Amino acid sequence: MTTVTKKTTNTMTTTRTATDHSGDVRLSGITKTYGSFTAVHPLDLTVPEGSFFALLGASGCGKTTTLRMIAGLEEPTAGTVSLGGQDVSHLPPYKRPVNTVFQSYALFPHLDVFENVAFGLRRRGIRSVRKQVEEMLELVQLGEHARKKPHQLSGGQQQRVAVARALINHPRVLLLDEPLGALDLKLRRQMQLELKRIQTEVGITFIHVTHDQEEAMTMADTVAVMNAGRVEQLGPPAELYENPRTTFVANFLGTSNLLEAEVDAASGDDIVLRAGVSTLVLPRARCSAPATAGGKVLAGVRPEKISLVHADDSGEVPAGRNRITGRIAATSFTGVSTQYVVDSPVCPRFEVYAQNVDRDPRLVPGAEVVLHWNPAHTFGLDAAQDIDAGVGTAEEEALA
């Protein structure tokens, strides 16, 4: 019997090395409609083998539907899903080399932890599962809980059983549907690192669906931000954060200060903008919208990139920085940093996060201030978009 197990494992390893990088997940033109409602618009997506890929978006954006189409739990209305070159679009879930970690885990309540983990192996006719199950339970650090029933475990432990139950089958792709949604904040942080560790250890492609932008950025190599059934932008977390291409991404991923500005001159590597009385410089490379003199763009800057000085010290601001003046509307002290909301003529709620290194006692609500930042930290977006797209969605989700 051990030979059988070994054989299976061997075959799996050889397949993986033989196929090398053709083990990608490819979605081509995949669409899902429910009656007149389109949950997922034609979507093309390639997830490279071995990557940790996150689908990020607010609820109802189509991310879970996309995941379920990969798992085979949802039939695509159009388009194909292929795994490592094989078209699996019409295979039932039990014939796909894919496993899922379900939201709220869906552990079998009548089976103990061991049998839950062994379920997939047994269904594939593998008899001697003990060694594999024990190894897997060791990997998720649940060795001593093997004979407990799921309801006797804590949320974090149940989550790890769900991961072990899926991973033991060596799927080509592991799908995670909001796997940490039911955990409290501290445990979630811990499990994020744990999942990342496991992914690095087993080298399987992970596709992770989440509404938590911080979670997506912490764990994934590549993040696809989805909105209303479409992928807004796709890229490594830092790239998405620093160079959002739409207002939705700029607002959904962290916080952005966006202000409407007129293009004064667009020559060379820099675009010169005018917003109210201020003149701002935006590197052309960081502007995703076509900028012609006289046109409009949205200039954006992240709150932590901005420095804040009292208006009396405005002379200390070095030359060549983008400057905006305003009055502090509110401050909140969060320990490591202080968050200021500044009311400026060009943007009514300019947010600034300042590290609490040397706190200036004059920076209290009502104080006149000058905001300044390195022009290289400015990004430009198409002014034709809704400036508030994606605002609040993230917070609403977190509260839900």
Partner 1 sequence: MTTTLTEAPPPVASTAQQRTPPRARGRLTPYWLLLPGVLWLLVFFLMPMVYQASTSVQTGSLEEGYQVTWHFATYWDALSEYWPQFVRSVLYAGSATVLCLLLGYPLAYLIAFRAGRWRTLVLILVIAPFFTSFLIRTLAWKTILADGGPVVGALNTLHVLDVTSWLGMTAGDRVLATPLAVVCGLTYNFLPFMILPLYTSLERIDGRLHEAAGDLYATPFTTFRKVTLPLSMPGVVSGTLLTFIPASGDYINADLLGSTDTRMIGNVIQTQFLRILDYPTAAALSFLLMAAILLVVTLYIRKSGTEDLV
Instruction: State which residue, 71 or 347, has the beta carbon closest to partner 1.
Output: 71
CA–CA gap between residue 308 and residue 185 (Å, rounded)? 31
> b vs e for 50-66, b when ≥16 Cβ sit within 10 Å of the residue's Cβ?
bbbbbbbbbeebbbbbb
Instruction: State which residue, 160 or 165, has the beta carbon closest to partner 1.
Output: 165
Element spanning 368, H or E? strand 368-373
- Ranges of H-type helices in the chain: 2-19, 63-71, 113-123, 130-139, 155-167, 185-202, 213-219, 237-242, 247-252, 393-399
Window 116 to 135, contacts with partner 1 (CB under 8 A): 119-120, 123-124
Instruction: State which residue, 4 or 106, has the beta carbon closest to partner 1.
Output: 106
Distance separating the N- and C-terminal Cα atoms of the chain: 49
Closest distance to partner 1 from the beta carbon of 72 (Å): 8
Closest distance to partner 1 from the beta carbon of 173 (Å): 12
Q: Taking contact as CB under 8 A, which single stretch among the options 20-28, 163-171, 247-255, 355-363 is the one that binds partner 1?
A: 163-171
Contact 45, 27 (CB under 8 A): yes
Site string for partner 1, 79-118 (x = CB under 8 A): -------------xxx---xxx-xxx-xxxxx--------
Site string for partner 1, 319-358 (x = CB under 8 A): ----------------------------------------
Site string for partner 1, 288-317 (x = CB under 8 A): ------------------------------
Does 179 engage in binding with partner 1 (CB under 8 A)? Answer: no
Q: Which amino acid is at 382?
A: D
Q: Could you tell me which residues come within 8 angstroms of residue 368 by beta carbon, excluding any fewer than 6 positions away?
A: 310, 311, 325, 326, 327
Closest distance to partner 1 from the beta carbon of 153 (Å): 13
Closest distance to partner 1 from the beta carbon of 207 (Å): 14
The strand pairing partners of 301, in sequence order, are: 257
CA–CA gap between residue 188 and residue 129 (Å, rounded)? 30
Q: Which residues bind partner 1 (CB under 8 A)?
A: 71-73, 92-94, 98-100, 102-104, 106-110, 119-120, 123-124, 149, 151, 165-166, 169
